[in-house]
Structure 1
Amino acid sequence: MIKIYHNNSCSKSRAAFELLKDKNLEFEIHEYLKNVPSKEELKEIIVLLKIKPFDLMRKNESLFKEKYNQMILTDEEWIDVMLENPILIERPIVIKDGQAAIGRPIENIINLLK
């Protein structure tokens, strides 16, 4: 089953949603701002993406710029920051068959679906 971590107010997330819909794929929508992932789930996403937690942070988000921009934290601490402030989690994230991609650019998701 394909899963999309989605924020409907984000144009990139809506584009990823439409891509999945247009391809007539079955997928599960996870609105991560309404239902924040568990710590274990977020760690699993990071492993599937093959990145460090800091790389999943939305660094252009005003909250990040105001509060976290100059901080040096451990991986665990960055995960905790994202769980406390899910708006800082990069989006959209699509997971398929044990692999994941961030839809920035959308071609990342297109490649994942091949």
Structure 2
Amino acid sequence: MLQVLHNPRCGKSRNCLAFLTEANQDFEIISYLQNPLSEAEIKELLQKLDLNPLELVRQKETIWIENYKNKSLTDHEIIKALSEHPILIERPIVIKNNEAIIGRDLEKLQKFI
């Protein structure tokens, strides 16, 4: 079964869920804003996405701009920021077994599922 890190206030995230529903895919919604991922879970997610920590950050979010932008941060510091401020995590993320994709592009998502 697919898992989707979902933010209900995000249009791209809602579009992803609608796409998966129309494609008759079974999925579990992970409400990562209410239940933030631990640093270990973020590291595991990064491996599944095959991304470095900075590539997972929503760099236009106010929290990032005010607290982290233009600072020289280690991967560990970025992961810690993502854990402490889950709003910074790109969304939606669709997880299938040991792989994951940021599901903003529905064509890529269709190929992934």
Q: TM bucket by the smaller chain?
A: over 0.9
RMSD (CA atoms): 1.1
Q: Which letter maps to 1:101?
A: I
User: Over residues 66-100 of structure 1, what are the superposed CA-to-partner deviations in whole Å (9 max), with x where a residue is unaligned?
Assistant: 22111111111100000110000000000113211
Shift of 1:104: 2.6
Gaps of 5+ in 1: none
**What amino acid sits opposite 1:109 in the alignment?**
L
Partners in 2 of 1:85 and 1:77 — Cα distance?
Answer: 12
1:18, distance to aligned residue in structure 2 (A) = 0.7
For residue 96 of structure 1, what is the aligned residue in structure 2? 96
Task: Measure the CA separation in 1 of the matches of 2:2 and 2:78.
Answer: 26
* 8 Å CA contact 1:8, 1:14 repeated in 2: yes
Displacement of 1:6: 0.3
**Structure 2 letter corresponding to 1:87:** I
Partner of 1:46: 46
Could you tell me which residue of structure 1 aligns to residue 13 of structure 2?
13
Alpha-carbon distance in 2 for matches of 1:28, 1:55: 24
SS of aligned partner of 1:15: helix
Unaligned residue ranges in structure 2 (runs of 5+): none
| Separation (CA, whole Å) in 1 of partners of 2:107 and 2:61 | 22
- 2:100 partner SS: strand
In structure 2, the partner of 1:78 is 78
Q: Report if the CA contact (8 A) 2:13-2:104 is conserved.
A: no
Q: How many residues align?
A: 113
Maintained 8 Å contact 1:12/1:106:
no
Matched, 1:34 2:42: no
Instruction: For 2:95, give the aligned amino acid.
Output: I
Query: Contact 1:99–1:112 (CA<8 Å) still a contact in 2?
Result: no
Percentage of identical aligned residues:
42
Q: Is the 8 A contact 1:42 1:79 kept in 2?
A: yes
